[in-house]
């Protein structure tokens, strides 16, 4: 429901070099040479982050972060049962998305 994309050039040859520094993103669901998928769950939302590595011929590599914060079943239940005030529960995943975007902009790997 709340999606985003961030791209950054880093001096990283393999994503496994990054995986040790990004353990806080959750559990690795998919791991490959150029793709990492992290998933985590909170009380009111689920978080999924896909990290892809693109190698360029200039020697720098580009790392793309694609992420989503989606309300889970409990959030939807509260939003429907306590409508219209229950919809305020959707502020939580949106706020976490904003915090995550700030974190990515400050990221130094």
In order, the DSSP letters of 69-96 are EEE-HHHHHHHHHTTTGGGGGGHHHHHH
Task: Identify the pLDDT of residue 41.
Answer: 87
Torsion of CA 12, 15, 20, 24, to 10 degrees: 110
DSSP-derived 3-state class of residue 20:
coil
Distance CA 94, CA 31 (A): 27
pLDDT at 67 over 90: yes
85-98: pLDDT as tens digits: 888 888 988 899 99
In the chain, where do the E strands start and end? 2-10, 27-31, 35-41, 45-55, 61-71
Whether the upstream peptide bond of residue 84 has omega within 30° of 0, thus cis, is yes
- pLDDT tens, position by position, 9-57: 877 666 666 777 777 787 877 777 778 889 988 888 999 999 888 877 6
Q: What class is the 2-106 domain?
A: alpha beta
Given a cut of 90, whether residue 62 has pLDDT beyond it is no
Mean pLDDT computed over 73-95: 89
């Amino acid at each position: 429901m709340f999606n985003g994309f961030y791209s950054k050039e880093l001096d990283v040859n393999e994503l496994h070099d990054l995986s040790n520094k990004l353990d806080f993103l959750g559990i690795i669901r998919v791991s490959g040479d150029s793709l990492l998928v992290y998933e985590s769950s909170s009380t009111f939302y689920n978080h999924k982050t896909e990290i892809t590595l693109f190698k360029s011929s200039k020697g720098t590599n580009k790392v793309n972060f694609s992420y989503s914060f989606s309300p889970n079943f409990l959030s939807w239940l509260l939003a429907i049962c306590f409508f219209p005030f229950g919809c305020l529960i959707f502020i939580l995943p949106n706020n976490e998305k904003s915090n995550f975007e700030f974190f990515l902009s400050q990221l130094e790997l």
